[in-house]
Every structure is written in structure tokens, then in C-alpha cells.
Amino acid sequence: MKEFIVLGVVVFFSVLTYWLVEPFAHGQMHKHVDSHQFQYADLPAVTKQGDATAGKDLVMGAGACSGCHSIEADGVPAMMEPDMAAASYGVNPPDLSNAGAIYDAKFLTDLIKNPAHALKVEHKFDPASGAMHPMVPFYGAGGDMDQEVADMVAYLQSIAVKPSEVTSKMAFENACGRCHAMKYANWTQMGETPNFKYKKDALRYEARVLDYQDSLKKYMGKLPPDLSMYTRSRNHHFLSTFIEDPQVHLAGTAMPRVGVTADGADKVLTYLEEIGDPSKANGDRDRIGMYVMIFSLIFAIFAYLWKREIWKDLH
Amino acid sequence: MAHFEKANSIGEWFDQRLATKTLERVLAKEYWIPKDINFLWAMGMVLAITFGILLVSGIFLLMYYQPNVDTAFDSVNYTIMQEVGFGWLWRHVHAVAASVVFLIIYIHMFTGIYYGSYKKGREIIWVSGMLLFVAFSAEAFSGYMLPWGQMSYWAGMVITNLFSMGSLEMNGVVEWIRGDYVPGQAFLTRFFMLHVLLIPVAILALIGIHFGALRIPHVNNQNGEELDYEVEAEKYKSGNKAASKVIAFANDFMSKDMFVVAVYLIFFFYLTFWNYSFAMDPVNFDPADGLKTPAHIYPEWYFLWSYEILRPFSKDIGLLAFAFAQVIFVLLPWLDRSPNAVPASRRGLFKYWFWIMLANMIVLTTMGKLPPEGINNTIGLVSALLFIGQWLALPFVTMFEKKV
Amino acid sequence: MGKAFGAVAGVGAVGALYAMKRSWDPLPSVKAAGFTNVDTSTCVENKLVVEKWRGKPIFILKKTADMVSSQTEADSARDVIIDGAHFTVAIGLCTHLGCIPAYREDRTDFLCACHGGEFNASGIDTKLPPPSPLVIPPFKVNGTTLVLGEAGEEYKKMKESGVTA
């Protein structure tokens, strides 16, 4: 009996210390931010029903989207190589093929009308001081502007894959991959790094990546970090709320709100885990952990039986 | 050469050449341990097993780790964690064991303090144990440098700076230790060497001394009872095991030890697979960047109490307080003036001294992690002063204790 | 003779120890880390520029007229004047334990996240635990270029008057 009291004392002080230096201290160190489930409540609700056919005309015509954005899914190729695009715009404008599936409709609607507002980077791009966001707002094609924007969004949704078909990799590449590299996925801001037969070609490509990164550095103020290990260096809740609204965690940051849907954000986080911590993502760690726990339990039972047998004579 | 008979069995063949039967008798069958002990007496075995786990997992990490500032981070986080078969397992096991080993060391240490197991005759056990604590600390610190993440780099910066001795401004010493103005390649490679060779060798040697020092004074028991080992051993050997106050190291003591080890392993593996962030700080998964200090710098949990003794004071006094905290435990056998080697519960004022010390070290540990702001600074200062005061008061607290 | 033998062995040990000590010294290539030239003409007032010199961060801060007019004499003594403008030039490592303090533009001061130490815009410590002001690295002014690593007249004067360690 006395032995259990001793055990109780040891466990009490160990758990107390653990609780104080881990959950308690980290709670004190980090600001608590609540998730809003990617509702984007600050953005106006979408009121109009969009028409994809009309939207296509606007996107290709009066909206002038295809002037900068490629839409591979509908046969619009990129106008420039990524490094050249970054030199012109600061960052390579995204291909719009699957934008309708990855980004929130409310966000896209606001983005088309006022990019800096939807992206929450108005502290950086203030038309009053002449700093314009590189994406030109849509000023309307002469009709009901809300209807026109709704049409464009409907078009983007019509050409995109179904939201359920968006892979974790697609979500990451679309939403994050033009600013963030991912070394462990062989990914740079230019895209997946190809294999080169000759060293000079590899070096040339690398130089182009560096050029891209220089443009990006100028545009963002600093080079956005490589995300390979972010699944281990930041916790899940932090990453999720950060993606939802970077300003809440890091007021004044140059990182825009990317406007992904809740599902899109989940996929991005899944991808981070697949690349940064595959033994967890593929279930190995949990599975092997269970085996080891079961073995340890059996080991303990046998250890106890052996001890009992030996101590039988000693008492 | 001595004369050898033809051996009748493999056992006999070895016995002729290595005296294995004698060894078995001296080290196991007739190595006497008191019977009146509890599971805390198994912590030595738990530590030995944990050290073994560290050694084995370390060997496997060593095969793919690259001690180079450009590749170290990736060799750990990509090659070992993602490519090497079960590499992630070795790394988690190694990191968690490195942290948990300190929990067990502290339990082992406070057990020793509580039961008075450092007193007359057992000083060398205590001192070699404290040297092991220092060696394990150095081993933990040098190992912490190897993944070359943000915490590695900044811990390396802060700790090596301690060697400038405050206002003495001995920057030359700091640069000599680093081999550079800031932690860099020379620093990483030499700490790699320390981690995988010099310190482990020192630890092995110290473990030898620690075990050897137990031999003559024997292990203490739950009541601090002085046993006549010859008499008790005779009782045991004559078959009256139940009446004897001693048991044999093997298999009597071993079987109990192994049961405690088994329970410990369940706890250990739970941490390894599901609750490891206390041992693998998230910040260290950001690669080292000499131009960006992390928002919060704190050492691993087991260094927090001594870190907090450094923190609330001005630089020089802080360093002196820190140095005091590092060496004072070693002097415990001489600071405790009481004639009693019995549990703290039976020792007047010392009983309170013990529990206050334990509670205060937990407070220091907590404050060492919290940001140094507002009330935290005051609590930290008071706790640090209390810690120092308690040690200074120890001879007086124990001086008037009566022999029980 | 045993003692003499021991003494000879001791001489050998001392020699070996010396060799060991030398092996831990910084390499010549590390020591010869060159000079860093900084063009100060592009500096913006109240915006901290961080340069790298011998692996250490160097803070370069151009002060606004307000900051210059409101500062004390001790602050002014640390100013590096380049082309009429006042600059703070300092090694960006906290004098407590070597963390990099962050510059707070709104409060024009430095805060060290490690142990909460603070320095004013001139790099003078204003809150414990740092025991002394930020160290000024050896520098020389060459037109609008600041050369780090070379001790110019201004630096020598500062060093002699004890403005910097």
C-alpha cells in the first residue's frame, strides 16, 4: 500500500511539472486565436445567381482576366514563363482552372471587385499613396456589376474539378506554391523542379528560380519561408487560423489572406503533413505505436508473473 | 602458463579462462540488496535501460546524420525522418529518451535526498551520480545542437556566451569554444564529436564508478536501517529467505526491477509515438538562422530551473548564482550535518527543507519557461533567492538534529 | 628515476595539451573574414537595416531629426555621422547573452525577446538584464560608405573615451 502512495507522489509531481512547462506555459506564450471555420464573415454575402456562359465571355473579354492569368482547363495558356511573370507582377499570377473549387465563392467575388480588400493587404496597397495591387480591380462591363461578378465566379466554378476531387497537392500548389517553396516535395515557386541531364541546364534553371525569388522578395519584403517542416514547427490550429487570416497572428504581414474554403485549408494542411511528416500522415506511426504498446503490455504481464514467482519465497 | 584441465562443458571452459562462476557469484547471486525497498530503488535499472535505448537509437541515427551546417537539418528531417526505414522511430525514441532520462534522473536524485542515501559512507555514490548528471547535461546539450534548427543555434549561442564570464568579457574563450565568432561549422563538428564520442565514454566510465561505489556501503533501504550483511546473507543462503532482510541482486532484485522497467516502457512508448513535443520542440523544426532570434528562447525543461536562477539577476550576479546552483548539489553530503541516514519524514526540520526544495524547483522550472514579464520576474527572483537561501541554511537546519 | 620518468611524460603531456588547445582555435580562414562595406545612402529614417559582418548581425539605424534633437549627450556620443545624418551602428547582439533584439519603430527602441532587456535607439541599455550598451563594431566612414572591420578615427575616439567596449 505504501508503495502506491509513493507512486502517487512521484506521479503527482511529474504530471504537475509537465502541465506547468507544457500546456500552461505554451498557453501563456502564444496568443489564442479562435477559428471562424473559414466563413469570411467580413465579406459581403453573394446575392446573385451566376451564369457560367455569360461569365466565360467576361473572363475572356471585358474582365480581361486572361490577360494575366492562364486557364489551362479551358485552353488559355500562360502568357509568360513564371520567372518573367514574377518580374512583371511581383508574383506569378495563378492559373484559374481550379480556382472555383479551391477558393471560397464570397472571397472570389470580393477579390474580383477589390483585390487588396479581399486579400487583406490594404495596409500595403493603398491607392491614395499610389501603391496599387498588381491585380487590377474589375470595374464592371456596363451592366449590373454584381451580376457580372457572379457570372465570372460561376464560370470559374463550372470549369474547375469538383471540390471533392481537389487533391492535397493541388490545393497546396494553387494556394501557397507560388510564394512558398517546399524543398522536400522538390517544389520551388517556379513549380516542380525538373530533372536535368546536364549540369549547366540545372544551374540555368536554378538561376531562374533565384530571379523569381528576388522578384518575390521585392514584392513581399522578404522571401516567404519554405514550408517543408511547417507541419512540425507550427501546430495544426495555428496553421489553420493563420491561413484563414494571417493578419490576426501577424499584424501587418505582407502575406495575403488566400481565401481557401475550409475544405481547401484542410487539404493544404494534409499536404504539409504528407510532405513534412509522412510517417504520421501514412499511419505508420500510429500503427507501429499500437503494436509496440500491445507488446509492452504483454512484456509487463510476463515481468509481473516472473517477479511474483521469485518473490513468493522472499515474503 | 597456468595449467588447464580439459573442460567438460562450455560453461566450465569459460570459467577456467574468465572465472565466470566467481563473477556470477560476486555480481549477481551473492550481491546483497536490502529487502525493505520500494519501486524507487529500480530507477537505477530504469536509467541503465534508458541509456541503452539512447545508445542503440543513437547508433542508427549516426549512420545517416551529416554534421555539416548545410546538410545537418535535412539529413535529420528528410533523410532520417522520411527515407531511412524506421529512421523516424529511432529519432523519436532518441529524442524522447533524452528528455525522459532527466525525469528519471531527478526522481533518482530526489529519492537519494529523501532517504539520506548520500550520507556517511555513500559520498562517492552521490558525487559520481552528480557527475553523471553533469555529463548527461553536456550530452543532452551537445545532442541538441545536432539537428541545427533554430533552437540548436540559439541555445548554442546563449550557452557558449556564458563562458565569457560576464564582465570579465573573456570573448576569446567563447570564440575558442566555438572555433568561430558565432556558432558555425567548426562548432557543429566539435559538438558532434563530443556527443558521439568523448561524453559517452565519460558517461560509461562514470557509470562504472557509480556502480562500484555501491559495493561497499551497499544500497540504502526504506527505513535507513543498518544491516549486518554477513548475518542476513547467511540466513538467506541457509534457505531462510523469508526471514532474511536481504535479497540477491539476481534474480530477486532484478525481477522486481524488470517489472518496474516494463511499466516504465509503456509510459515511454506512449510518449514516443503520441506525445513527443515536450522533447522535440516545434521551434527546432525551423532551420538555424543566425539573423533571426526566435520569439521565445527557453532551454529544454530539465535545464529550466538553473536557467531561472540565472535570469532574474544582473549579468555577473546571475552567473554567480548559476554557478552556485551547478555545484551546490555535489556538496550535499557535507552540507547536511545531521548524523541520521533515515527518510526525511523522520528527520525534524529537514523534512520541510526537502519538500520546500522540491516545490521551489518546480516553481523555478515553470518560471524559466514563462516569458520574463511582470509578476513572473518577481516570482522568479523570490524563488531563486529561496533556492540559494535554502542551501545556505542547510547546515544550520541539520546541525541540531538528534540522532534517531 | 621513476619521478624523472614521470616528469618527462609530463612534458610530453603538456606539449600534447598545447596541440589540442590549438586545434580548437578558430581557423585562419575564419579569422580572416574580411570587411563589410555598407552603402548608407539608401538608408531610410527610423528603418533598421541589418547587415552581416563576421557572422554577426550589425544594426544600422538612420535617426530622424526628432530622435536626434531629443537625445541625451551619452546618446549623441555614440552617433556615427555620415554625410550630415546621424546613425546608430552597433553589433545587434544583446550584451546579456547574445540574442538579437528587435527594433520597435513606434517606440524607437530595441527589445530583446530572450530575457526582456531593452535598449534605446542609440543602443544604450535601458532595462535589465543587459549590463552594457550594444557594442559598436570597428568601423570607418568612407564618403557614404560604412566600412565594418576597419577601425577609423571616429571609432578609435569612441573606444578611447569608453563610449563602447
Chain B residues in contact with C115 by the CB 8 A cut-off are 311, 372
Do residue C104 and residue C134 come from a single domain? Answer: yes
Partner B, chain A 4-33, Cβ-Cβ below 8 Å: 6-7, 10, 13-14, 16-18, 20-22, 24-25, 28-29
CA terminus-to-terminus distance, chain C: 53
Chain B residues in contact with A309 by the CB 8 A cut-off are 255
CA distance C129 to chain B (A): 5
Dist CA B67 CA B196 (whole Å):
11
- CA C88-C89-C90 angle, to 5 degrees, is 115
Q: How confident is the model at residue C33 (pLDDT cuts 50, 70, 90)?
A: low
Do residue C64 and residue C143 come from a single domain? Answer: yes
Do residue C129 and residue C66 come from a single domain? Answer: yes
Do residue C77 and residue C16 come from a single domain? Answer: no
Shortest CB distance from B291 goes to which of C25, C52, C128? C52
Instruction: Assess if residue C165 is contained within a domain.
Output: no
Average pLDDT over residues B133-142: 96
Chains with ≥3 CB–CB distances under 8 Å to A: B
Contact B181 C128 (CB under 8 A): no
Mutate to test the interface with B, among C27, C59, C96, C112 (most CBs of B within 10 A): C96
Do residue C93 and residue C123 come from a single domain? Answer: yes
pLDDT given at position C112: 77
Rounded to two decimals, the ipTM of the complex is: 0.94
Range of the domain at C56: 33-160
- In DSSP notation, B112-161 reads HHHTTTTSTT-HHHHHHHHHHHHHHHHHHHHHHHTT-BHHHHHHHHHHHH
Do residue C37 and residue C78 come from a single domain? Answer: yes
Dist CA C123 CA C94 (whole Å):
10
3-state secondary structure of A245: coil
Task: Judge whether B392 is closer than 8 Å to chain C, CB to CB.
Answer: no
pLDDT, chain B, mean: 93
pLDDT at residue C34 above 60? no
Q: What is the pLDDT of residues B78-120, one digit of tens each?
A: 999 999 999 999 999 999 999 999 999 999 999 999 999 999 8
Shortest CB distance from C24 goes to which of B179, B318, B377? B179
Chain B residues in contact with C131 by the CB 8 A cut-off are 166-167, 314-316
Domain annotation for chain B: domains and CATH numbers: 25-297 (1.20.810.10), 309-404 (no CATH)
Do residue C154 and residue C75 come from a single domain? Answer: yes
Residue A227 one-letter amino acid:
L
Domain parsing of chain A, residue ranges: 1-30, 31-281
CATH number of the domain enclosing C68? 2.102.10.10
- Given a contact cutoff of 8 angstroms between Cβ atoms, the answer to whether A76 and A107 are in contact is no
pLDDT, chain A, mean: 92
Contact A7 B39 (CB under 8 A): yes
Do residue C131 and residue C156 come from a single domain? Answer: yes
Average pLDDT over residues C81-88: 85
Chains with ≥3 CB–CB distances under 8 Å to B: A, C
Contact C113 B311 (CB under 8 A): no
For residue C94, the chain B residue with the least C-alpha distance is B158
pLDDT at residue B367 above 70? yes
Do residue C79 and residue C126 come from a single domain? Answer: yes
The count of domains in chain C is 2
pLDDT at residue C160 above 90? no
Dist CA A153 CA A112 (whole Å):
9
Dist CA A57 CA C51 (whole Å):
52
Do residue C8 and residue C69 come from a single domain? Answer: no
Contact B81 A279 (CB under 8 A): yes
Adjacent-strand bridge partners of C120: C109
For residue B313, the chain C residue with the least C-alpha distance is C129
Contact A232 B285 (CB under 8 A): yes
Dist CA B291 CA C93 (whole Å):
10
Q: What is the pTM of this model?
A: 0.88
- Given a contact cutoff of 8 angstroms between Cβ atoms, the answer to whether C63 and C88 are in contact is yes
**Chain centre to alpha carbon of residue B169:** 31
Task: Judge whether C81 is closer than 8 Å to chain B, CB to CB.
Answer: no
